[in-house]
Amino acid sequence: MGMTVSQKILAAHAHLDEVSAGQLISAELDLVLANDITGPVAIKEFKKTGADSVKCHDKIALVMDHFAPNKDVKSAEQCKTCRTFAKEQGIENFFDVGKMGIEHALLPEAGLVGAGDLVIGADSHTCTYGALGAFSTGVGSTDMAAGMLSQTCWFKVPSAIKFELCGKPAKYITGKDVILHIIGLIGVDGALYKSMEFVGDGVKYLNIDDRFTICNMAIEAGAKNGIFPVDEVALEYMKGRFKRPVKIYEADPDAKYDAVYKIDLSTLRPTVSFPHLPENAKTEWDEIVIDQVVIGSCTNGRISDMRAAAEILKGRKVADNVRTIVIPATQSVYRQCIDEGLVNIFLDAGAIVSTPTCGPCLGGYMGILAEGERCVSTTNRNFVGRMGHVKSEVYLASPYVAAASAVAGKLATPDDLEVR
């Protein structure tokens, strides 16, 4: 029986000729990831085993990104736990203040993940790395501990859904609009424990940041992972960056899919997910006055996202009633924003620019919402209370829409600004 791309990667890492959907396998891992929230739990479980050392010092990454720089004593203690463990174990890929970034932007940028890899992370958005042709997925902290101990993990091989992308997106349409449209189409459980495999002529019109965004939010459709083919765009990104040999896998012609969806990118419009589920996707709305805009996160904090926001904000001012927070995802992206003059554009518009952090995305800090407040955010989740008070609202959107909304003082698209 033919295999999908994801199944081929799993088979290779399990040292099997073939695998099939539903099969349980044990597979070798190329990288194991945790952050300052999930890392301490994994470290505690690791120590319970009585083990003296991790299996592979160079195949573990600990990134202090959720509450770093530390917002309080508890977050300081959590980072200290990770810092101490990394030093004791000689973990090479430890990223702290000054070197860290938002994990799912930082690891590809640092060349730690790439084509053909099998990666687990104690964070649900680990599926981001499928943009580079890797099988990457989120796990619990106990699995993370086992991964550090053995550099292996158990998997149930997922079945797959194929998304055939065609057509060229219109101006202001990004990967965020694509994935919000898809989640609106299939629902938050539409790909439950399945692989979302993106193919077709339309892929060439999606830059690598668009693909990171799409794979990042595969989990919001319940997927085990999302994955793109390894083409010239992916290879160019990995060139001189990825630290292991590139391994390219392609689906067999007779690979089985649970469903096939055809998405014409040329027909898409700016899409926003309304509270309180990512599947609540809309392209039209009545007037919705907002209080805050957040542009950043592991979903949309890369340099093309910063450039998109700056394109809209240049020469404009954010509305008096809107707090606008811009968060470059890594130190490198932050530096690019400075070098390209984007930071000045943000500051001139009346926004603030933060050090890289996940902070507001999970309701941690750097942008908590009060009761009744509304936020347009480029993050990935808008569940009840996600960014603060349970009676606040989060609207998920692209950097273009978020920036336009900041200027308008209400939910808006770039075209709305031009009409005014």
Q: What is the DSSP string of 334-365?
A: HHHHHHTTHHHHHHHHT-EEPPS--GGGGTSS
State mean pLDDT over 45-59.
92
Q: Is pLDDT of 418 > 90?
A: no
Label residue 350 by pLDDT band (50, 70, 90). very high
Query: Could you read off the pLDDT of 145-201 as tens digits, one per residue?
Result: 999 999 999 999 999 999 999 999 999 999 999 999 999 999 999 999 999 999 999
State mean pLDDT over 351-377.
93
Label residue 420 by pLDDT band (50, 70, 90). very low
Query: Could you read off the pLDDT of 312-331 as tens digits, one per residue?
Result: 999 999 999 999 999 999 99
Q: Is the dihedral of CA 23, 26, 27, 29 positive or negative?
A: positive
pTM score of the predicted model: 0.95
pLDDT for the residue numbered 100: 87
Checking DSSP bridges between strand 31-35 and strand 118-121, what pairing results, if any? parallel
CATH no., domain 5-264: 3.30.499.10
pLDDT for the residue numbered 271: 97
Residue 244 phi/psi, 5-degree rounding, is -120, 165
- Rounded to the nearest integer, the mean pLDDT of the chain is 95
Q: Which of 98-107, 283-292, 360-369 has the lowest mean pLDDT?
A: 360-369
Q: Let me know: does 162 contact 254? Beta carbons within 8 Å.
A: no
With H, G, I as helix, E, B as strand and everything else as coil, classify residue 162.
strand
DSSP-derived letter for residue 101 is -
With H, G, I as helix, E, B as strand and everything else as coil, classify residue 130.
helix
Label residue 373 by pLDDT band (50, 70, 90). very high
Segments making up each domain of the chain, as ranges: 5-264, 272-419
Q: Let me know: does 221 contact 184? Beta carbons within 8 Å.
A: no
Q: Encoding tokens for residue 50?
A: 């009585």
pLDDT for the residue numbered 362: 87
272-419: same fold as 5-264?
yes
Q: Is pLDDT of 74 > 60?
A: yes
Domain 272-419, what fold?
Aconitase; domain 3 (3.30.499)
